[in-house]
Structures are given as structure tokens and as C-alpha cells.
């Protein structure tokens, strides 16, 4: 190709500059300058950043700070007050009852998965902060670990078992007793499912057992199997265990009985106390696969055989404190029974909770102290998110459609939105074009950005709670 000919002065060729890639820092700097370079961009950067930060801060408070604070209010030092500070500390947890397709029959599958996700997250948060803030020496579950456990075949039960282990994960050496079955785990009385009973015992441990903690003997009884009248393979093991314990009396340590179903109490002795949400009494009711109290003869047999100072039960989901007078070796005795609240938000109570027990280990004076520990309000986060969602929407409407109401705010950024969106009208002064496509597009774009940020924020808080061991 012939060389180009120039008439007159030929321009000088500039040497080619060497290629140097732009650093990420330079790119971020240019992005920052673009976002804050004009008054309009500075204002948008400020309000969008403020909204996203507000969502992060609210999620942090509701998902981390508030649950941690609420559980910390139950700190042992606030109520146990032993003189020598030597105590064995026990947390008793009742009826987590993982929700499944049996919990809300007829609910659409998508809503059921959402319900499981929300309830599992609540249980997981509670478990993490109980173990992190209260650090109990021993944690005891009082049955009904699952909701439909008695009905599931193995192909369904084992995924639920994996789900259980994800929610209630254990640290090495952590002392947790969770082998007491509930009627939702294995059935009740004559309707107990043998497959479910054997499977539960295989994976969680002996259904009836005794173990010593804090100078006391815990006596765990599979009382729902004792209510069976038809199958000796079901009712004999717990009855034999009770007979062996009776034969070993008297014991030198106070006994604490653990049962899923509450003991029977007379109508005159059925006032549950001020901590109960649902009325004042735990009524005696019998239905399909459940019974709200043990039968009187079973209750009397256990009291006279075990001679307990304390009885802890679950099943009812609400709190109840009653006393049981009985005679042991010719002496009048009294056992205090505490029915423990459910730890779950899906069990029909507004204030889920657990029971804390502090055991005096030196054997002198009073041997125990116990109190209710209420869990975080399960509905507080939803109220906070709803209020913030409505407030965010109202604010964005004002920013885009009614900017004159935010003049004092926009002027701080030297931004005058009314000058940018005006519509000339013949023979009339210019008016603000509130409904232009440009404004509507910007409005929905901001909503999309905030919504995407919300998804990322909630994803982080809902998943990172499982990073705790």
C-alpha cells in the first residue's frame, strides 16, 4: 500500500503509551466519584445507602442483638445466688416439635416450606444463644422433638433427623440428654408405634434411665409407654426400671423426675400459677394419640416409688406449677412439678420459654432453685420489618413523587429536584412533571435495589446462625 502523501506540515506521531491495566482501587474510586460527583448523585447515594444500612441494622438487632439480650436476662447470677457459687446448672427444653406436613395439613407446599424455614430459624437462634450466653452444664429435652415423628417411615424420618441435628448441633463434650420420647415422637399408650419407638431409642438413647448431676439423681421415665395396656414389650421396660429404682430406696441424693406427660392432679390442686398464658388450669383431656395428664394410678405409683423433690414435664406447651402430696415410707412428702413451656414459636403460645434449674452441689440447705426463662418475642422481628418496609416505601414515594416535602433534606446536598423534572405548559407557569416515565422508572429501580439488598442481608443472617457450632 503506497505511503500517504501530505501537503504542507505533516503531523508529528505521538509515541504509543505503554498499556497499564487499571487497578481495582482506581475503578472503585471512579465509581465513588461518579456516585457522588453531582448533587443529584450525592443525594441518591446518601438516601439509598442510608436505607440499606437501616435494613442491615434492623436485621442485626432483630436477629442477633435482641435474641442475645433477651436470653442474657436469664443469667444465673440474677437469680440463683448460692453462697459458695458452687452449682450445677441445667437447662430444660420442652416440645421443640419441628413443624412438618403434619403440623398444618392442607397448607400449600410453598407456605409449608416457608413456615419450616422461619420456625427452624427461631429454634436455631434460641439454641445458639442458650448455649452461648447461659452455658448450661447440662441440657435436657422433655420430648416431642418432632411433630410427625410417629407417622413417618424411614425415608421421611431420617431427613427430619438430619434437620434436627442441624438446628440443635452439639459441641464436643457438650452434655445433652434428649432421649425422653413424646407422644408426637412415638405415639401414646395403646397407640404407640413400635417402629417409631425402636427408631427413637436407637438414635437418641435409653427411654428410661437415671443419671446423677449436681448431687441429685435425675430419673427419666418413659411414662407414655407405661400407659400402654396391650403390649408387654412396650410397657414392661419402663415398669421394670421403676421397680428396680424402688428396690434401691432409700437414696442418698434427692430425686428429680423427668416425664413428657404431666402428672395427674386433682381439680382442687390444679391452679397452674401466674406464669401460665392459657387460663389457670391444665385440664384432664384424652384424645387420639394424646392425653394431657397421666392416669391417677400411674402418677401415685411413680411418686411413692421414686420419692421425688421435683418433677419436670412437657407436652402442654404452656407453664404450670403444682404440688403433689404423697406418702413415702410412712412420711408425708410434697413434690413440686413444673410443666415447661415450649421453646417453639409454633405451639400456640405467645411467649415461648425454657426452664432453668440450679443445683446446690455441697448438699447443705436448699438443694435447688428454678425459674422460667422466656425466649425472644417471636413476632417482634416481623413487626419491625413490616414497619421498616412501609416506612421505606413511603420515603421513596416522597423522594420521587413529592420532593418538595423533602426540601430541607435535599438542600443539604445542594440538590434541587424540581429544576430537573419540569413540564412546560402553554400560557401557564412550568409545573413539576410528577408522573413522567423517567420518575416512575427511577422509583421502581430504587425499590428493586433495596429489595435485592434485603435479600442479601436476610440470607446472611438466616444462614450465618448455622455457622455457630
* pLDDT band per the 50, 70, 90 thresholds, residue 444: very high
pLDDT at 8 over 50: no
pLDDT at 357 over 60: yes
Residues 336 and 427 in one domain: no
Residues 362 and 413 in one domain: no
Instruction: Name the more confident of 24 and 366.
Output: 366
pLDDT at 58 over 80: yes
Q: Looking at the DSSP assignment, which residues form a beta bridge with residue 428?
A: 425
What range defines the domain where residue 388 resides?
A: 40-56+381-467
What are the pLDDT digits (tens) for 361-385?
886 778 899 999 999 999 999 999 9
Residues 369 and 399 in one domain: no
pLDDT at 199 over 70: yes
Residues 201 and 311 in one domain: yes
Q: Does any domain span residue 3?
A: no
Residues 269 and 173 in one domain: yes
pLDDT at 97 over 70: yes
Of 313, 343, 378, the residue at which a domain comes to its end is 378
Instruction: Name the more confident of 433 and 233.
Output: 233
Is 395 buried (19+), middle (13-18) or exposed (0-12) by CB count in 10 A? middle
Q: Does any domain span residue 183?
A: yes
Among 121-125, 395-399, 434-438, name the one with the lowest average pLDDT: 434-438
Residues 374 and 392 in one domain: no
Q: Work out the average pLDDT over 125-132.
A: 97
pLDDT at 358 over 50: yes
Q: Does any domain span residue 76?
A: no
Residues 402 and 357 in one domain: no
Q: Is the peptide bond before 20 cis (omega within 30 degrees of 0)?
A: no
* pLDDT band per the 50, 70, 90 thresholds, residue 343: very high
Give the list of residues 6+ apart from residue 373 with CB closer than 8 angstroms, or none: 71, 74, 91, 134, 353, 354, 355, 356
State how many domains the chain has. Answer: 2
pLDDT at 212 over 90: yes
Which three cell numbers mark 442?
427511577
pLDDT at 177 over 90: yes
Q: Does any domain span residue 146?
A: yes
The three-state secondary structure class of 347 is: coil
pLDDT at 262 over 50: yes
CATH of residue 254's domain is 3.60.21.10
Q: Work out the average pLDDT over 417-421.
A: 52
Residues 374 and 399 in one domain: no
pLDDT at 233 over 90: yes
Provide the pLDDT for residue 420: 52
Prediction pTM value: 0.86
Residues 276 and 345 in one domain: yes
Which three cell numbers mark 146?
418432632
Of 325, 358, 378, the residue at which a domain comes to its end is 378
Q: Does any domain span residue 34?
A: no
Residues 434 and 363 in one domain: no
pLDDT at 12 over 70: no
The secondary structure of 404-456 as a DSSP string is GGGHHHHGGGT--GGGTSEEEETTEEEEE-TT-HHHHHHHHHHHHHHHHHHHH
Of 354, 378, 402, the residue at which a domain comes to its end is 378
Residues 212 and 355 in one domain: yes
pLDDT at 147 over 90: yes
Residues 388 and 280 in one domain: no
Q: Does any domain span residue 201?
A: yes
pLDDT at 429 over 60: no
Cα–Cα distance list, 155 to 97, 109, 158, 160, 223 (Å)? 19, 18, 6, 9, 28
Q: Does any domain span residue 261?
A: yes
Q: Does any domain span residue 63?
A: no
Cα separation, 153 vs 148, in Å, equals 10
pLDDT at 136 over 90: yes
Instruction: Return the number of other C-beta atoms located less than 10 Å from residue 266's C-beta.
Output: 11
* pLDDT band per the 50, 70, 90 thresholds, residue 32: low
Amino acid at each position: 500500500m503506497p505511503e500517504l502523501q501530505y501537503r504542507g506540515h505533516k503531523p508529528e506521531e505521538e509515541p504509543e503509551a505503554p498499556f497499564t491495566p487499571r487497578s481495582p482501587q482506581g475503578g472503585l474510586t471512579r465509581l465513588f466519584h461518579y456516585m457522588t460527583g453531582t448533587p443529584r448523585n450525592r443525594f441518591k447515594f446518601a438516601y439509598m445507602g442510608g436505607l440499606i444500612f437501616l435494613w442491615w441494622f434492623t436485621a442485626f438487632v432483630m436477629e442477633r442483638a435482641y435474641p442475645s439480650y433477651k436470653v442474657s436476662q436469664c443469667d444465673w447470677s440474677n437469680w440463683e445466688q448460692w453462697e459458695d457459687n458452687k452449682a450445677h446448672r441445667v437447662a430444660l427444653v420442652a416440645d421443640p416439635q419441628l413443624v412438618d406436613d403434619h403440623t398444618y395439613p392442607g397448607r400449600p407446599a410453598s407456605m409449608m416450606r416457608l413456615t419450616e424455614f422461619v420456625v427452624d430459624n427461631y429454634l436455631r437462634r434460641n439454641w445458639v444463644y442458650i448455649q452461648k450466653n447461659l452455658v448450661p452444664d447440662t441440657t435436657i429435652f422433655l420430648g416431642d422433638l418432632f411433630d410427625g415423628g410417629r407417622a413417618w417411615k424411614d425415608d421421611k424420618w431420617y431427613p427430619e433427623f438430619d434437620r434436627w441435628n442441624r438446628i440443635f448441633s452439639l459441641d464436643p463434650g457438650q452434655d445433652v440428654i434428649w432421649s425422653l420420647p413424646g407422644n408426637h415422637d412415638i405415639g401414646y399408650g395403646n397407640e404407640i408405634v413400635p417402629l417409631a419407638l425402636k427408631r427413637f431409642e436407637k438414635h437418641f438413647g435409653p427411654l428410661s434411665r437415671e443419671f446423677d448431676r449436681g448431687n441429685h439423681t435425675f430419673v427419666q421415665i418413659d411414662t407414655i409407654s407405661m400407659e400402654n395396656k396391650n403390649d408387654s414389650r412396650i410397657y414392661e421396660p419402663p415398669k421394670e426400671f421403676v421397680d428396680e429404682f424402688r428396690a434401691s430406696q432409700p437414696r442418698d441424693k434427692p430425686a428429680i423426675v423427668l416425664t413428657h406427660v404431666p402428672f395427674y392432679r386433682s381439680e382442687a390442686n390444679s391452679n397452674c400459677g401466674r406464669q401460665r398464658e392459657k387460663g389457670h388450669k391444665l385440664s384432664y383431656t384424652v384424645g387420639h394419640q394424646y392425653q394431657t395428664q397421666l392416669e391417677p394410678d400411674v402418677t401415685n405409683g411413680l411418686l411413692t416409688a421414686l420419692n421425688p423433690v421435683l418433677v419436670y414435664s412437657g407436652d402442654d406447651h404452656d407453664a404450670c406449677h403444682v404440688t403433689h402430696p404423697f406418702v413415702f415410707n410412712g412420711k408425708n412428702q410434697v413434690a413440686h412439678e413444673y410443666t415447661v413451656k415450649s421453646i417453639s414459636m409454633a405451639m400456640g403460645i405467645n411467649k415461648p420459654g425454657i426452664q432453668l434449674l440450679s443445683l446446690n452441689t455441697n448438699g447443705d440447705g436448699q438443694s435447688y432453685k428454678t425459674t422460667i426463662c422466656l425466649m425472644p418475642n417471636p413476632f417482634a422481628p416481623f413487626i419491625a420489618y413490616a414497619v421498616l418496609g412501609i416506612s421505606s416505601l413511603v420515603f421513596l414515594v416522597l423522594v420521587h413523587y413529592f420532593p418538595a416535602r423533602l426540601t430541607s433534606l435535599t438542600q443539604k446536598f445542594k440538590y434541587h429536584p424540581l429544576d430537573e423534572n419540569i413540564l412546560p405548559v402553554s400560557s401557564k407557569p412550568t409545573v413539576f412533571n410528577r408522573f413522567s416515565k423517567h420518575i416512575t422508572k427511577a422509583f421502581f429501580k430504587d425499590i428493586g435495589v433495596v429489595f435485592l439488598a434485603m435479600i442479601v442481608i436476610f440470607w446472611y443472617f438466616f444462614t450465618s446462625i448455622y455457622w455457630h457450632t
